[in-house]
Homo-oligomer: A and B are copies of this chain.
Amino acid sequence: MSYIKIPSHLVPSDPQGSDLLALEREKATFNVKELTLALYGSKELEKDNRILKILENDPVFDKSNLYFMGRTELFENALRKDKRLVQLIKEHKWNMEEIQAAVSFIDLPGPYGLHRGMFIPTIFGQGTEEQKKKFLIPALKYEIIGCYAQTELGHGSNVQGLETTATYIPETDEFEINSPYLTASKWWIGGLGRTANHAIVMAQLKSNGKDYGPHPFIIQIRDLETHQPLPGITVGDIGPKFGYNATDNGFMLFDHVRIPRFNMLSKFSQIKKGTGEYISPPNDKLSYGTMVFIRAMIVTSVRTSLARAATIAIRYSAVRRQFVDKDQPKKSKDGRIVETSVLDYTMQQYRLFPVIAQAYACFYTAKAMIDLYMKYLKQSSSGDFSLLADLHASSSGLKSLTTTMAVDSIEECRRACGGHGYSNFGGFVTFYQNYLPNITWEGDNYILTHQTTRYLLKTFREVVSNKNPEIYASQSKKNPTLTYILDYINNPNQVCNATTSLDFKNNELQLRAFGHRAAYLIANAVDQIDNQNKSWNSMLIEVNRISRAHCQYLLVKNFITAIQEQPQPITDEKLRILHSSPALKKVMESVCNLFVLHTMEKEIGEFFECRFITDSEAKLLRTQVYDLLQEIRPNAVSLVDAFNIPEFVLQSALGRYDGKVYETMIDWASKEPLNGITLDVNPNSEVLFRNKNKAKL
């Protein structure tokens, strides 16, 4: 509802946003629909369109008041949407991919998120058949609602340090769950605050006086009728957060709560009845596989988030005009000098075009990760785990690198929209706030790099210590890490050897550059640890650097591989479409080059340090980056159009497809509830504050 009548005769001053975007779209050198198809494939597009239409037409999923809601109202709204989603899932018999699509279009992380995302999958993966019968069936019917309670007030990343205990009591064949300290309180648990009536609780298993480390237990925490916490359980919402305020992240303390022995998830390890004997798990490699998959999904979400941010910023930059570029003044149709489109300023291009390129880079790396994961699944089912170590190391580092990149780039896009980027109506604020936890959860982005670098140092040592490194040569075709390590060992003095700025467009040079730099950093760290006795702690800054260098290599490698000549016939639909259109291939080459060379320029210090590049070559590199900005400029709007992010998701006055930026800003402002209350603003009145008309709210 509108609180203020905006004069209807007013329009924005010329040129109109819709005309400017139309002009931009005319300039494109490729077919946007074709690129969209090459990104998502026909099956995914059909599914997305189908689900989007259902949600857009359902009043429960209306988003028009979201930006005005306080915490409680937002939570209530999300709960309502989650309930409606459950009905739709049943009605349309949606599968996991379809549910995932719906959740991403609804775009309001709500109270059932962890029930779907962790509670059900954990019982599925770690429960026995009897446990599945008892808990999984009602969970799938939403007769019980669960959450996954691992993190504690005092412990996050270090799961081994959790303080909640589960002590086996042989007399009654029960576990006693207890929180011995305040810091043992479960914390951050999504859906726990007000919603869940069950929880999977990670607790330190104790039996016969021995400690067996953290294990998962299913615990009913609230009465199914009254929804009151069960005896011995203190539970509640942890309060407001930067984002995710539609979710009731919760805390929970146990005061000697007894549960049946049956409730320890026992597919892999168990406690024997009466004796309390511990049966240890056969193999923990399986759980690594799940982590790898979750991280591949996170990288997939990075591509979408970058695409969303770039879409808003690029479209608004085409509509927004500021100052007259005195060297190249722009004229309107009637010959007046008009202000220059912000998108024509090189600084704006330099800030935004790399974000487009990062989004495309993540498309191809997400694809490569999922392809590799599928291959691993196939191999591991026949007992071959050889891909796992590299896959785990790479996915850890890539999750870290790409989510930090995404967070920084979303914020850069927001800032590049000037003042209006600060308004919620811009479409960045809640989007950014909800995206932000990605750099902390599923492995803190700094800690994750330890795993990547440990693997890289180990691999390097193995290759060096092997007298005959040629045995790796055959493997190295499949394993890019081995490739660049071998190249470095064979020639540690690689140099760039560029004589013109065009040389930097050479893919072979690009791969050599990123491989050499990563290998140099690894070699250097191995030397410091093995020969100079440096402690791991003293190396942590290098550890982070190495993981970043390795993962940037992977992003570069995957992007280049996707657009290089493919073996015929091309079976993958997306690649086939890309390679059947010379226009598409050409624009993707520009985007790929920008990603590679902008990354190189940003990290130029390390390319200097490993002596790959000289100062005059660095100037050529920079020239090429600037040339690429010009090369991409005509396609900028169409490149973000191709991401196909629906208006329903953007929720942005600035990023509208039709360019009606200013009309939307003022229309939405007229609906701000603060405009509907009556105030006494006179500081000299006796009453400090009097709200005459609160009822109207």
Contacts and interface: CB of A to CB of B under 8 A. Distances in A.
Interface of A: 3-7, 10-13, 60, 67-73, 75-76, 79-80, 82-84, 86-87, 111-112, 141-143, 145, 151, 153-158, 161, 163, 179-185, 187-188, 193-195, 197, 227, 234-243, 248, 251, 253, 255, 322-323, 325-328, 339, 344-347, 350, 415, 418-419, 421-425, 429, 436-437, 439-441, 444, 446, 535-541, 543-544, 604-605, 608-611, 615, 618-619, 626, 662-663, 665-666, 668-675, 677-684, 688-689, 691, 697
A141 B156 CA distance: 54
A543 B346 CA distance: 11
Q: Which 10 A-B pairs have the closest CB atoms?
A: A70-B70, A347-B540, A604-B605, A13-B181, A80-B689, A608-B608, A327-B535, A86-B683, A239-B672, A605-B605
A512 to B, nearest CB: 18
A552 B692 CA distance: 53
Contacts of A227: 678-681
Contact of A325 (B69, B537, B539, B675): B537
Nearest to A429: B242
Given A194-B675, A195-B681, 10 more contacts: A10-B181, A10-B253, A11-B182, A70-B70, A72-B674, A157-B322, A238-B665, A238-B669, A350-B541, A609-B615
Contact of A419 (B156, B180, B248, B422): B156
B429 A241 contact: yes
A145 to B, nearest CB: 6
Contact of A668 (B112, B161, B239, B323): B239
A612 to B, nearest CB: 10
Nearest to A439: B415
Contacts of A157: 322-323, 418
Nearest to A672: B239
A665 B541 contact: no
Contact of A237 (B73, B674, B681): B674
A90 to B, nearest CB: 10
B236 A3 contact: yes
B347 A446 contact: yes
Specify which of A143, A536, A672 lies most central, judged by the most chain B CB atoms within 10 Å of its CB: A672
A450 to B, nearest CB: 10
B422 A536 contact: no
A158 B674 contact: no
A689 B76 contact: yes
A691 B76 contact: yes
A622 to B, nearest CB: 8
Nearest to A445: B415
Copies in the complex: 2
A142 B242 contact: no
Given A13-B180, A347-B541, A238 B681 contact: no
B424 A240 contact: yes
Contact of A665 (B79, B153, B665): B153
A322 to B, nearest CB: 5
Which of A193, A240, A671 is packed against the most chain B CB atoms within 10 Å? A240
A436 B673 CA distance: 24
A675 B236 contact: yes
A436 B536 CA distance: 36
Contacts of A234: 4-7
A188 B608 contact: no
B688 A60 contact: yes
Contacts of A675: 193-194, 236-237
A681 to B, nearest CB: 5
Given A83-B688, A236-B4, A679-B79, A615 B608 contact: yes
A79 B680 CA distance: 9
Contacts of A609: 604, 608, 615, 618-619
Nearest to A440: B419
B683 A112 contact: yes
A13 B669 CA distance: 50
A423 B238 contact: yes
A663 to B, nearest CB: 7
A246 to B, nearest CB: 11
A142 B682 CA distance: 8
A456 to B, nearest CB: 17
A6 B252 CA distance: 10
A475 B251 CA distance: 65
Nearest to A112: B683
Contact of A424 (B242, B604, B668, B672): B242
Nearest to A73: B70
A67 B197 CA distance: 27
29 contacts: A4-B235, A6-B182, A12-B182, A13-B180, A60-B688, A72-B673, A82-B683, A84-B688, A86-B683, A87-B683, A142-B684, A153-B666, A154-B662, A156-B419, A236-B675, A239-B423, A239-B669, A240-B672, A241-B429, A242-B424, A251-B666, A327-B536, A346-B539, A421-B440, A422-B436, A605-B605, A605-B608, A608-B608, A608-B618
Contacts of A415: 439-440
Given A7-B255, A662-B183, A425 B681 contact: no
Given A157-B322, A418-B156, A683 B83 contact: yes
